Amino acid sequence: MPETFLAACALVLVLEGLLPLVAPRAWRDAFRRLTDLSDGQLRFIGLISIVIGIVLLAFLYA
């Protein structure tokens, strides 16, 4: 179980690092736009990300 969690965290880091590596300017512009969003908009994005992740996990393990 701990190995699976660590592997998942490592995969997140790899995926998160791809955009700054491949397109740093696009990543910087996207980050600037995110900082302009309100707290409510950021919370909604976080909620949608969580829901998508749960749905993907449900499909993988169902």
Give the count of domains, the chain.
1
* Domain extent for 8: 2-61
- Residue 26 to residue 57: CA distance in whole angstroms: 29
The model's pTM is 0.73
DSSP label of 46: H
The predicted pLDDT at position 19 comes to 92
Q: Which helix (H) or strand (E) holds 24?
A: helix 24-35
pLDDT tens by residue, 4-53: 889 999 999 999 999 999 999 999 999 999 999 999 999 999 999 999 99
